[in-house]
Amino acid sequence: MGLPLAAKRVYSYRDENGILHFTDQAPDTDQPVESRLAKADPKKWIEALEDGPADDKRYLLVNQMAGPAEVEMNFTDALNVLSAPELPARVVVPGLTSTPILKVIPEDPTQSWRFNFQFRWMLGDPGARPDPNARYQLPFRQGEKHRLMQGFGGPYSHSDEQAYFAIDIDMDEGTPVLAARAGTVMLVEDDFFGAGTDIAQWGDRANHVRIVHADGTMAVYAHLALETIDVKVGDQVRAGQQIARSGNTGFSTGPHLHFVVQRNTGLRLTSIPFKFIEHPELDTLIEGSILGRLPEQKAATLGETGTVGQSDTP
């Protein structure tokens, strides 16, 4: 079940009769076409839909992400009602599903009744457990070297639990970004342009790809360039596969790649430490360190779980 998405680019043209048309899709026409960027809103990945008669209300949760979400439901007002499940309650909703989550009926049908409920959600399954043997490839091409702008616990923007174990890699706009570990593309945001340091204005406007791994952890590749993402929701990707190009979108002071691995710790996103195959000492690297692997270095392969195996591939 699809939800409408805000357009990122608007096209206009006049047909052979002189009628002006506007569309968010590149038109198939021989007439001159003009285009402009339009401000887009973040996609609405989770939505609750009401169903059923007045005395037997049922709710479905539509999850448009290709990965699970944890949902918490509460009554904000309730009189003479029964619910299944009894609220408050938390449930985990699988990706790309429309899942029944709530049924509400009057406890005494002969009496008046009313209710209002609200829900909040968080990415990921809180029951997932990170694989302690997981290792990651550098998210850029072999032979390249990039400066570490901010590491674990970086003072500028890596102080909260979502980003403490994140890194910022200095990358020119348009640099190919590679998947660091195999997984499923959970969500994609690619409609944004522009950047700034006002977090209220720019905090949720970074183009990014989120990939969920076999152990339920999720890697985020952020600040990507507008309309350069090469994967879509639901795609299976392998480690080393190009997924996008770096950019400078959202809460950012300049072109770079923000990379972090996160898990759901109970309606909270928490970043977790990780190690690159090429840089097992990552937790000791500081701002200004150089990340890279020379072509002559041997690489390990990554299986679907991210566990390291042996390879003779340079």
Structure tokens at 171: 């990358």
Instruction: Please say if the pLDDT value at position 194 is more than 60.
Output: yes
Mean pLDDT for 140-153 is: 91
Q: With 80 as the cut, is the pLDDT of residue 187 above it?
A: yes
Neighbours of 141 (CB within 10 A): 14
Is the model's pLDDT at 193 over the cut of 50? yes
**pLDDT attached to residue 244:** 97
Q: Which residue has the tokens 């109970």?
A: 266
Torsion sign over Cα 265, 196, 193, 149: negative
In this prediction the pTM is: 0.81
Reply yes or no on whether the pLDDT at 41 is more than 90. no
Between 268 and 314, the more confident residue is 268
Q: Given the structure tokens 């076409």, which residue do they identify?
A: 33
Q: Are 50 and 88 in contact (CB under 8 A)?
A: no
Residue 4, pLDDT > 50, answer no
29 or 60, which is more confident: 60
pLDDT in tens, 10-28: 566 677 777 766 676 677 7
Nearest CA to 140 among 227, 219, 224, 240? 240
Q: How confident is the model at residue 195 (pLDDT cuts 50, 70, 90)?
A: low
Q: For residue 115, is pLDDT > 60?
A: yes
Query: Residue 189: what are its φ and ψ, rounded to 5°?
Result: -120, 115
Kindly state the percentage of the chain with pLDDT values over 90.
57
Sign (positive or negative) of CA dihedral 143, 224, 126, 214? negative
How many residues appear in the chain? 314
Rounded mean pLDDT, 282-301 = 67
